Chains A and B, each alone.
Chain A
């Protein structure tokens, strides 16, 4: 299989090869690979790739899928123009 032609994250164009290379360097948690590859950080916020990544981590670290730590989703869930946020900025304290 040509791992460089297998896309895991469509938003950020991350391939299976990049993920496996990351594992080989010792980064085997979702939070780590996310920070290195930006995998799961695009417009869909990992709704497409998260299960694929979890499965690859499970295979590589030889643990059952339900033992693989999932990643934390942070706001915002999709792209919001900064101008839109600035326009709504009010002191509500």
Chain B
């Protein structure tokens, strides 16, 4: 059986960042990635990031992925990869079972494990929600920006968080008619700058509205939307039919924490963090010793936070394995500060309250 010091499950922003810091500390790692290449969801993000320069603000997501990948390349002697390989089991004796693209099944044993599996898109339950033409917004972004395939010609976006707004804008750029963005809450979820760009293109954003049903013969042809009252109940008589050939669902992400549940980590449902998340301490260690987490799997946030969390946990794991980074103290302080900054302000409120709930702290 193969044996590694640090096994990283997921080669997205946090996994890559952790591998870099661990390597700088002197720890070798193996990154296991389900996709054909590492970089995670950054590779489909053609928009520029906000935040501060430390988290690559004003850089496009796809270019941030390149930076992280190149950083890891500088540690080629310490970081190895298995792509197109899925972790299918995680066991309490720190054995991981994997299956590669040729269905070859094998076992790997690790001293420490970092689960950086990210998140998956939430779905909605409505009539005929399985008709072809109904997509997750993230899936549409992958189709368009990675594979160059349009999802349809006339689209309605459900959800006005940043993903919904950005994907709507990119759909318009690609020549798709975004007929409307609808939002169940009474306010637009994402940043005003993204919403304003859409409005300037003439896209209507309707709040207090959701999708009630879909219709179509074999594929999506139209949807019925309906207004909601303040208690999220449908208001009778406000149904409206819109003909579309694609519907994008962008109602948030939920942590892909399956492996953590499997290995017996204590889990908690925290709505503000996106769903079922592992209980962790300040070093991002789960209740199973030597199993760590970073990125969206322990609470859905932006890619910038995932990167910083990855760096932070990479340092901690190095230290745990007896290899302390030469600038350990300074970097830990720096990353902690960066995370605090990213979570400050009104848009960080959800994360702050979610983390407080998770840690059983009184919400300040």
User: Could you list which residues of chain A lie within 8 angstroms of chain B, going by C-beta atoms?
Assistant: 1-2, 5-8, 10, 16, 45-52, 54, 65-66, 68, 70, 72-78, 80-81, 84-85, 87-88, 92
Contact = CB atoms under 8 A, between A and B. Distances in A.
A51 B275 contact: yes
Contact of B262 (A50, A70, A73, A85): A73
24 contacts: A5-B128, A5-B213, A7-B125, A7-B130, A45-B258, A48-B120, A48-B123, A50-B276, A52-B125, A65-B269, A66-B268, A66-B269, A70-B269, A73-B258, A73-B261, A75-B262, A76-B89, A80-B88, A80-B103, A87-B104, A88-B105, A88-B106, A88-B107, A92-B1
Contacts, number: 88
Max chain A C-beta neighbours (<10 A), residue from B125, B267, B270: B125
Given A75-B91, A84-B99, A1 B127 contact: yes
Given A51-B122, A92-B1, A75 B89 contact: yes
A65 B125 CA distance: 16
Interface centre among A45, A46, A51, A54 (most CB of B within 10 A): A51
B268 to A, nearest CB: 7
Contact of B105 (A5, A10, A46, A85): A85
Nearest to B214: A5
Contacts of B153: none
Given A46-B258, A48-B123, A77-B86, 12 more contacts: A6-B127, A10-B130, A45-B258, A47-B254, A51-B275, A52-B123, A72-B261, A73-B258, A73-B261, A78-B86, A84-B104, A88-B104
Nearest to A72: B261
Contact of B271 (A47, A65, A85, A92): A65
Interface in B208-260: 212-213, 254, 256, 258-259
Nearest to B98: A80
B269 A68 contact: yes
B269 A76 contact: no
Interface in B255-290: 256, 258-259, 261-262, 267-271, 275-276
Contacts of A77: 86-89, 258-259, 262
B207 interface: no
Contact of A84 (B103, B126, B268): B103
Given A70-B267, A78-B88, A84-B103, A51 B254 contact: yes
A80 B105 contact: yes
Contact of A7 (B103, B104, B107, B129): B129
Contacts of B319: none
A65 B1 CA distance: 42
Contacts of A46: 258
B353 interface: no
B97 interface: yes
Contacts of B213: 1, 5
Given A6-B127, A51-B122, A84-B99, A66 B261 contact: no
Contacts of B267: 70
Contacts of B120: 47-48
B270 A66 contact: yes
B269 A87 contact: no
A81 B103 CA distance: 7
Given A51-B254, A66-B268, A6 B87 contact: no
Nearest to B256: A47
A80 B276 contact: no
B258 A84 contact: no
B291 to A, nearest CB: 14
Contacts of A48: 120, 123
Contacts of A6: 125-127, 129
